Amino acid sequence: MKAILLAGGKGTRLRPLTVHTPKPIVPILNRPFLYYQIDLLRHVREIDEVILSLNYQPRRIEEIFGEGEGLGLRLRYVVEPMPLGTGGAVRYAGDALTESVVVFNGDVLTQVDLGAVLRLHRQRKAKATIVLTPVENPRAYGLVETDGDGNVKRFLEKPGEDEIACNTINAGIYVLEPDTFDRIPKDTAWSIERSFFPSLIERGETFVAYVYDGYWIDIGTPAKYLQVHQDIMAGRYAAPPFAGAPPSHAWISPDAKVEEGVEVQGPCFVDEGVTIKSGARVLPYSVIGRHTHVEEHATIDGSIVWPNGWIGPEAVVRGAILGRNCHVGRNATLSPPAVLGDKTIITDYSML
């Protein structure tokens, strides 16, 4: 069985982080995001191949994952000639398929039991099965209404305030039957949410919902990107190196140089080759990327710093996200929700 990972979006809401790093590979604790999704797919024994549907900076992604060596499943890349939207991408990547396929948005992190979703799909002989999850505010998602038997009755992408009649949204995970793909027009941009799903409902086809209320997040905004890190470090989502670690664990790479007189409060993550000078403070929910230097009396608090940063003496970095190779001058102060693109230089004493 195959799975299609939709990973071709530009990640506009995560800019500037996604200018040089496509969203599917933004690092979560220094591990490209797609690894977390592949981990989930790998646990479904039937899935032996993942098709990565790409168009934005595909080379960068291929370089990291190759053909999936060591991942326990085969990876294949399908690069669209132009962005085809979520529906067009499914048709383009899945045109030759003849058996049920799992489709996954490339920016969601979850622990849903995909085996159980597949069982429901087969038991109901569905044309499509969609995972739903409850959220507080459905505005930014696809709102999905169901009847008492778990049939999808309405799909409304990005509903207006006055259209919200329930709290279950599209979690971005589907099982689809390829014999429905012929209704997706070829080679034009087409939305699975705005066109394909409503068309299934109109035609009265068996379209069922699997409601999941465990861990689920879309990492597509800076706030959610910070949230994912906090969830992993707090143990709300089990992932290395925090899975099974004691609460408030400060994970420090064995080859990081942490001088005497540094205050480190977990949970936090200090990666390979990092140097932290005396008097500096690393406060909870901080991630310090590879080879970053944190100078004397600097403070990193609840922030994510990508590799090769330099944080000057007495600088304060709070609730911020810093891309690669950022330079924060001495005594500079960054406050939430600061998000710096790669190679940003913040001059001494600046306040952001």
When binding is defined by CB under 6 A, the residue of 3, 6, 112, 114 that contacts ligand GDD is 6
By CB under 6 A, is residue 222 in contact with ligand GDD?
no
**Interface with ligand GDD (CB under 6 A), residue from 26, 38, 107, 168:** 107
Binding residue (CB under 6 A) for ligand GDD from 177, 218, 271, 314: 218
SS (HEC) of the chain: CEEEEECCCCCHHHCCCCCCCCHHHCEECCEECHHHHHHHHHCCCCCCEEEEEECCCHHHHHHHHCCCCCCCCEEEEEECCCCCHHHHHHHHHHCCCCCCEEEEECCEEECCCHHHHHHHHHHCCCCEEEEEEECCCHHHCEEEEECCCCEEEEEEECCCHHHCCCCEEEEEEEEECHHHHHHCCCCCCCCHHHHHHHHHHHCCCCEEEEECCCCEEECCCHHHHHHHHHHHHCCCCCCCCCCCCCCCCEEECCCCEECCCCEECCCEEECCCCEECCCCEECCCEEECCCCEECCCCEEECCEECCCCEECCCCEEECCEECCCCEECCCCEECCCCEECCCCEECCCCEC
32 binds ligand GDD (CB under 6 A): no
**Nearest approach, Cβ of 22 to ligand GDD (angstroms)?**
8
Q: Which stretch binds Mg ion (CB under 5 A): 85-93, 211-219, 278-286, 287-295?
A: 211-219
Pick what 106 binds: Mg ion, ligand GDD, none; C-beta below 5 to 8 Å, kind-dependent. Answer: ligand GDD
Q: Which of 80, 107, 271, 301 binds Mg ion (CB under 5 A)?
A: 107
State which residue has the least CB distance to Mg ion: 220
Q: Is 218 in the site for Mg ion (CB under 5 A)?
A: yes
Site string for ligand GDD, 153-172 (x = CB under 6 A): ----x-----------xx-x
State yes or no: residue 220 binds Mg ion (CB under 5 A). Answer: yes
302 binds, among Mg ion, ligand GDD, none (CB under 5 to 8 A by kind): none
Residues 116-155 within binding reach of ligand GDD (CB under 6 A) = 141-142
Q: Does 7 bind ligand GDD (CB under 6 A)?
A: yes
Position 87 contacts ligand GDD (CB under 6 A): no
Q: Does 267 bind ligand GDD (CB under 6 A)?
A: no
Q: Which does 141 bind (CB under 5 to 8 A by kind): ligand GDD, Mg ion, none?
A: ligand GDD
